A and B are shown apart, each in its own frame.
Chain A
Amino acid sequence: MAPVGKPVTLFLQTFGQQDTHPASAVTKIMIECLLTIFGLALVAPFLHWALRSTTHWFLGAIVAGITTWLALQLPAVASGATLHAAFAWVPALGVNFSLMADGLGLLMALIICGIGTLIVIYAGGYLADHPLLGRFYAYILLFMGSMLGVVLADNIIVLFIFWELTSISSYLLIGFDHERAAARAAALKALLVTSLGGLALLAGLLLMGTAAGSYELNEILTRGDVVRSHTLYVPILILILLGAATKSAQFPFHFWLPAAMEAPSPVSAYLHSATMVKAGVFLLARLTPALGGTPAWQGSLVAIGAITMLVGAILSLSSDGLKRILAYSTVSVLGTLTMLIGIGTLTAIQAAVLYLMAHALYKGALFLLAGSVSHATHLYDADDLGGLARRMPLTAVAGFLAALSMMGIPPLLGFIGKESLYEATMTAASEIGKAGTDHYSTGWTRPIMSLTPLAVAAHMLLFVVVVRVGVRPFLGRSRPSAHPPQEVSPSLWLGPLVPAVVGIIGGLLAGNVGSLIVAPAVMAVRGEPHEAAPLALWHGLTPELALSALTLFGGLILFAARRRLVQAAASLSRLADWGPDAGYDRALATLNLAAKTQTRVLQNGYLRWYLLTVLSVTVLLVGYPLIEHMELPEIKNLSDIWHFELMLAAMTLISAYAAVRATTRLGAVAALGAVGYSVALIYVYYGAPDLAMTQFLIETLMVILFVLVFYHLPPFSIFSGRAARLRDTLLALAFGAMMTMLILTTRANQSQPRISEYFVEHSLTEAHGRNIVNVILVDFRAIDTLGEITVLAVAAVGVFALLKLRRSAKKEEMR
């Protein structure tokens, strides 16, 4: 293994940041790679329009180039360097756009871009006849860029944004066949589950950033002790775990992943086995130095992981569809990874990294293969297939290789992965006990001991899966079918074959893979240099080998008894009525019902109910504090009131009452006119001649208008009953009383100087006018007046349009 040196940090100088480090070409390229992918996503539909059937090769070549560049960085990172790139993004909030590629990030980035290359090429063949292929390229590249952002992010805000972008692009991709209701429902399910988890994650990340005093991951990771001893540690852990568990389909959130199989095969292979679902596991691994090692961390991760591992394996038996079987087995593997990260020993992390790599390769291959097989045969159920090896030899080779890797047979990478998994579960107890000085707790020795049988059992069940999907369809007698199968086009067999072959190369070159890829990733997770035995394909006759053999043997027996197993699993499926999937449906139905109910109650379509609701709420909210703080200074000097004022007030109120009680339309209009003229008199009396004049004129026009319109309207009629009238009277009076009190209170508490003093002072000197009201209208506040006359014009045009429209309708009728 390469000696671990001091991390070399390279900084990119941008946006005028005064940094003493020279801008590095290497780190600049990292940002450019990301931008290239997002840029390609933008232009992909146009590109497809221009290139037609060669688009996928073109896009694949570019992504392959990025993969190659990433692979070239491996030696530097293996020697301990961390690639860094940062520029100020929202400096006011202390948010930098910063990227970081350490061993873990680079491994994930390689998987994303490497498998991404094959997926793009595969999609070109798989969806060749799809009218929206250009859009598919855009979505898949958007996802690729987002996922790359997640694994390379060095700032938790940046991480979160890319995290959510993967959820959104996943939504778009699952619902790609948006004309099918099932696809839409599955897309929504995935989006709701993952974005709810995303919200929890945001809260957890922000709390963690506050606890650590930085939003930069590389700083947070060095302050693990601060975070772990923080009072908010448990809430942070729960929130982040929620985010990771929803994304990585951990029990009880696993149900969205099988549903997501509505997506086209390349999407399932890419998002829902190789990359996106690993984001949660990646996050847990990434945050291990900051959060890991406590009993709470170990306990929750190991428990969730082990349960998910078993539940996924069992559920995979009860399905028939090729892709659903694979989806449940993916759930099982994700649980295994979570469990390994929870165990957290050197062996366990090494196993997690290896297992993650192996799984990405073989499961991606199997998904693509399932797609190719269905593409060629138009059959989707595992038990309907058989004898395809002669017709589709290359696909069959890919299938066998991937299946062998998943079974854990040497010399494939899957073998090493499963060996180290068993080693991790077996040695976990002793390693944790041995490292008494370590911050790892010792309280979990007993449960960790019993993980080995669980892991073996789960893998026996997964053996059945792999035989059903990867082996059986190609062997035996070929079934008669409407579509005689043929070998698929190169873009379709390349996708499954390349990862399967890489799986065997990786197994053969285990030593190099170990030092170049696994060791740096393990170091990034453990956050400290370590001394581990170099990886090798053959360890001799070890207990793990015996367990592997036992797994194979048990798996064969289970496969022989698979019919009875499937029946047993089917009887279990009655439990699903109380499962999380049914819970999701119920929650959604409840939400819809609540929305419907509140809409029916509040948006009932009766104007007076809206009015009464608004009024009563206002009276309650405003009236209560008014009564609390009421002062009535005015009541003391009642002698100030003049008789003329009282008469005016009485006249106004009596006219208003007459308008309310009027039994004829003409009577109501006359009473209304009387109110208007009384108000005009009030304006005259209190020094507002302009208002009075306008009010008189408007009132006159209004009365004429009323007469014109009421001529067409029916006479008054009383619709509401006595009780309703009494209720409305009381509420209206309460509101009136509240307004009266409001005025008295505001008048009693007026301390600010009047704004108008400025206008009074400058009216003549600056605006050459003696009528200050008019000067305000046409000079000081002229822009308001401009707006107001525009409103007037709009109202008039509206009236005109309403009447004109009717006239043209009449003309239509006449024709």
Chain B
Amino acid sequence: MKSVILSTASRLVHPLLLMFSVFLLLRGHNEPGGGFSGGLMAASAFVLHALAHDAQTARRALKVQPQTLIGAGLLAALAAGIVALAIGEPFLTGSWTSFHMPGLGEWTLGTPLLFDVGVYLVVVGVSMLIILSMAED
């Protein structure tokens, strides 16, 4: 089902959707969003790509194997927990640091964000692994 309109639109929309997914991920701590919805949004972007072209193209667009994403995500989430262990707190306790960025104001970064990034990566990887395997079948 190749459609010129869809493939053209997807070429334009794809990066936008990806950017939006990262935006969802980053704002998740204070506004609706987060790793789950962000990850699903990113997966949707690649699925759109797959529908517009084919699964192979989507796989190439993804650059890395979905399995790698899953592994990286799980490691990131685990790392967020281990940071707490390293500083003598119970596993997965959040720790925070605040700093001032010129022009962007006060920023607060913490291990929960790293954890959320892990969730994001796992969700992208899982969705892509499932859908691409099926589409190629």
Contact = CB atoms under 8 A, between A and B. Distances in A.
Is chain B in direct contact with chain A in the complex (CB below 8 A)? yes
Interface of A: 689-690, 693-694, 697-698, 700-701, 704-705, 708-709, 712, 767-771, 773-775, 777-779, 782-783, 785-786, 789-790, 792-793, 795-797, 799-800, 803-804, 806
Contacts of B108: 768
Interface in B22-59: 24, 28-37, 40-41, 43-44, 47, 51
Contact of A778 (B35, B133, B134): B35
Interface string B86-97: 000001101010
Contacts of A800: 67, 129-130, 133
A790 B34 contact: no
5 contacts: A694-B36, A767-B94, A771-B31, A799-B134, A806-B137
B129 A778 contact: no
Given A708-B134, A767-B112, A793 B44 contact: no
A704 B66 CA distance: 18
A694 B126 CA distance: 15
Given A770-B31, A789-B77, A796-B125, 5 more contacts: A701-B43, A778-B112, A782-B112, A786-B77, A793-B74
Interface in B58-101: 66-67, 70, 73-74, 77-78, 80-81, 91-92, 94, 96
A779 B44 contact: no
Given A704-B131, A789-B119, A793-B70, A697 B40 contact: yes
Interface size class of B (residues with CB under 8 A): 35 or more
B29 to A, nearest CB: 4
B91 A783 contact: yes
Nearest to B31: A771
B33 A693 contact: yes
B70 A796 contact: yes
A774 B131 contact: no
Contact of B78 (A698, A786, A806): A786
B81 to A, nearest CB: 7
B57 to A, nearest CB: 16
Contacts of A690: 32-34, 36-37
Nearest to B117: A778
Given A697-B40, A700-B44, A769-B30, A799 B115 contact: no
Contacts of A712: 137
A792 to B, nearest CB: 5
A705 B131 contact: yes
B29 A785 contact: no
Contacts of B126: 792-793, 795-796
Nearest to B34: A774
A803 B137 contact: yes
A767 B94 CA distance: 7
Nearest to A693: B37
Contacts of A771: 28-34
B28 A705 contact: no
A777 B34 contact: yes
Interface of B: prevailing SS? helix
Nearest to B40: A697
Contact of B133 (A769, A790, A799): A799
B137 A792 contact: no
A769 B37 contact: no
A796 B130 contact: yes
A712 B135 CA distance: 11
A665 to B, nearest CB: 16
B39 to A, nearest CB: 9
A782 B92 contact: yes
B135 A708 contact: yes
Closest A-B pairs by Cβ, 7 of them? A697-B40, A689-B32, A796-B126, A770-B30, A769-B29, A778-B112, A774-B34
B32 A693 contact: yes
Given A708-B135, A778-B34, A799-B130, A790 B40 contact: no
Contacts of B131: 701, 704-705, 708
Contacts of B47: 701, 704
Contact of A789 (B28, B37, B66, B73): B73
Contacts of A774: 28-29, 33-34, 116
Interface of B: 24, 28-37, 40-41, 43-44, 47, 51, 66-67, 70, 73-74, 77-78, 80-81, 91-92, 94, 96, 108, 110, 112-113, 115-116, 118-119, 122-123, 125-127, 129-131, 133-135, 137
A266 B124 CA distance: 69
Nearest to B136: A803
Contacts of A769: 29-30, 112
A790 B74 contact: yes
A789 B122 contact: yes
B84 to A, nearest CB: 10
B12 to A, nearest CB: 19
Contacts of B129: 796-797, 799-800
A770 B33 CA distance: 12
A698 B40 contact: yes
Contacts of B28: 771, 774
A483 B109 CA distance: 92
A712 B137 CA distance: 10
Given A694-B37, A800-B133, A786 B30 contact: no
B27 to A, nearest CB: 8
Nearest to B66: A796
Given A697-B44, A709-B134, A779-B94, A704 B51 contact: yes
A792 B30 contact: no
A287 B91 CA distance: 58
Given A767-B112, A771-B29, A774-B33, A786 B133 contact: no
A782 B51 contact: no
Contacts of B122: 789, 792-793
A690 to B, nearest CB: 5
A770 B29 contact: yes
Nearest to A692: B32
A683 B36 CA distance: 16
Nearest to A764: B30
Contacts of A797: 67, 70, 129
A802 to B, nearest CB: 9
A122 to B, nearest CB: 61
Contacts of A775: 29, 112
A777 B94 CA distance: 12
Contact of B29 (A697, A768, A793, A795): A768
Contacts of A803: 133-134, 137
Contacts of A782: 77, 80-81, 92, 94, 112, 115
Contacts of B32: 689-690, 693, 771
A396 B49 CA distance: 96
Most chain-A CB neighbours within 10 Å: which of B36, B70, B80?
Answer: B36
A478 B41 CA distance: 97
A806 B131 CA distance: 16
Contacts of A806: 137
Contacts of A698: 40
Contacts of B112: 767, 769, 775, 778-779, 782
A700 B29 CA distance: 24
Given A701-B127, A799-B129, A783 B135 contact: no
B16 to A, nearest CB: 15
Given A701-B40, A796-B125, A785 B31 contact: no
A789 B74 contact: yes
Most chain-A CB neighbours within 10 Å: which of B66, B73, B81, B126?
Answer: B126
B96 A768 contact: yes
Contacts of A770: 29-31
Contacts of B137: 712, 803, 806
Nearest to B133: A803
B38 to A, nearest CB: 9
Nearest to B128: A796
Contacts of B96: 768
Contacts of A701: 40, 43-44, 47, 127, 131
A709 B110 CA distance: 41
A709 B134 CA distance: 7
